[in-house]
């Protein structure tokens, strides 16, 4: 009887995984992280989707492609890495996958979950194979397989050494914009964040005095954009007045008659130029399933983790969980995806697609 029950369970798993793809969430660690606890290691995160039940050699070859892209070692050999896997709720403890038998065991455990998702941990064993200048590390990993509830963590001000060097120019632009403009109600942090990111694209897109062509600034009237700080305004006046100082003297008609000359009429000061009317708010264009997530006439906004992106643009937990299940760990994955991937594999509903379209339109930057 036990043999018959096991056979029925195996047949059920085969029916479930037939014709479907498995998702592997991959974390790649340098050799320097090997002595740390697995959940405290800092690594590079990526993912891959393969047809369920691919041969072991094919699976290893696809994994090597991800390793080469993340680490770029001098020598690419699967034997230089320790491979571990976990499956949520089915196999939470890390298990090795180094042989075909262990690979088959991993597939059996994955098949017990409806979403066919597995977490892979790739640990480098030899430091000499790594190139530090090509490495882009990330924060220590949390439990990826349980995204529904996360414990709140206490935050503290980052040290200069904790700031990613890639974000320094963006942070410097925000600081310069805040010093340049003395603001009231608008623009806020979101405006400065988009403005600073656009400045990285060059002066043709945005500069310290010219905001980008972005819908956030379409709703800001000219008199709300901000005013120059008094110190900078005074410096500008001093630069423009390089000649000697001039004074205006008003004389009574009696005094003027004593000198026998009539002064020229004074020219009234020119009226200040009229403020330009705010540009109309641009609506996001319609999309089709084959279109990329980011249109060709827009650029990616600042990179951020998936949780930060969803919180900033008010996406629901269901949308965030769907993106996380499909392996989207942050905004750096958006330029390589199409809408059909989210409509088909993630199963987003019409309202959820509308949420994501609105968030992407706010996050991206127009090229013109």
Say how far apart CA 155 and CA 15 lie, in whole Å. Answer: 47
| Domain coordinates in residue numbering, the chain | 19-134, 169-224, 298-366
CATH 3.10.20.90 fits 19-134, yes or no: yes
Q: What is the pLDDT of residues 138-172, one digit of tens each?
A: 444 444 444 444 555 555 655 655 555 667 888 88
Give SS3 for 45. Answer: strand
Residue found under tokens 């000649």: 243
CB contact set of 135 (below 8 Å; sequence gap of 6+): 30, 44, 70, 71
**What residues have CB less than 8 Å from 39, skipping those under 6 apart?**
140, 141, 142, 143
**pLDDT value of position 155:** 59
pLDDT for 147 equals 45
Distance CA 113, CA 85 (A): 14
Give the pLDDT of residue 367: 79
What confidence score (pLDDT) does residue 192 get? 77
Centre a 10 Å sphere on the Cβ of residue 135 and count the other Cβ atoms it contains.
Answer: 14
pTM of the model: 0.35
Q: What are the φ and ψ backbone dihedral angles of 298, each rounded to 5 degrees?
A: -135, 155
DSSP tag of 342: I
State residue 56's pLDDT score. 92
Place of tokens 């959820």: 352
| Distance, CA of 128 to chain centre | 31
For the chain, list residues with pLDDT below 70: 1-18, 128-166, 181-188, 215-289, 368
β-bridge pairing 43-51 and 365-366 = unpaired
The pLDDT score that the predictor gives to residue 289 is 64
**Burial of 303 by CB count in 10 Å (0-12 exposed, 13-18 middle, 19+ buried)?**
middle
């Amino acid at each position: 009887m036990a043999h018959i029950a096991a056979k029925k369970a195996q047949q059920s798993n085969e029916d479930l995984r037939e014709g479907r793809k498995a998702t592997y969430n991959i974390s790649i660690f340098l050799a320097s992280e090997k002595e740390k606890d697995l959940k405290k290691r800092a690594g590079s995160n990526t993912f891959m989707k393969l047809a369920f039940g691919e041969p072991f050699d094919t699976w290893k070859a696809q994994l090597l492609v991800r390793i080469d892209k993340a680490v770029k070692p001098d020598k690419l050999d699967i034997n230089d890495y320790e491979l571990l896997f976990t499956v949520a709720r089915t196999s939470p403890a890390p298990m090795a996958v180094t042989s075909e038998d262990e690979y088959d065991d991993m597939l059996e455990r994955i098949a017990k979950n409806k979403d066919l998702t597995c977490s892979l941990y790739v640990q480098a064993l030899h430091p000499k194979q790594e190139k530090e200048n090509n490495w882009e590390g990330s924060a220590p990993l949390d439990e990826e397989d349980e995204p529904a509830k996360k414990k709140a963590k206490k935050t503290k001000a980052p040290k200069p050494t904790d700031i990613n060097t890639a974000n320094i120019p963006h942070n410097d632009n925000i600081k310069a914009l805040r010093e340049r403009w003395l603001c009231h109600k608008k623009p806020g942090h979101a405006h400065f964040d988009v403005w600073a990111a656009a400045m990285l694209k060059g002066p043709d897109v945005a500069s310290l005095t010219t905001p980008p062509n972005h819908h956030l600034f379409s709703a800001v009237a000219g008199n709300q954009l901000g005013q120059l700080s008094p110190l900078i305004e005074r410096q500008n006046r001093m630069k423009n007045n390089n000649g000697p100082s001039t004074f205006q003297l008003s004389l009574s008609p009696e005094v003027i008659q004593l000198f026998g000359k009539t002064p020229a009429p004074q020219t009234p000061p020119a009226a200040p130029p009229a403020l330009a009317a705010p540009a109309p708010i641009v609506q996001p264009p319609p999309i089709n399933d084959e279109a990329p997530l980011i249109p060709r006439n827009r650029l990616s906004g600042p990179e951020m983790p998936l949780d930060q992106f969803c919180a900033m643009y008010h996406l629901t937990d269901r949308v965030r969980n769907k993106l996380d299940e499909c392996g989207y760990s942050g905004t750096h994955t958006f330029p390589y995806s199409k809408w059909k991937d989210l409509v088909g594999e993630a199963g987003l509903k019409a309202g959820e697609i509308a949420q994501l379209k609105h968030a992407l339109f706010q996050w991206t930057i127009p090229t013109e």
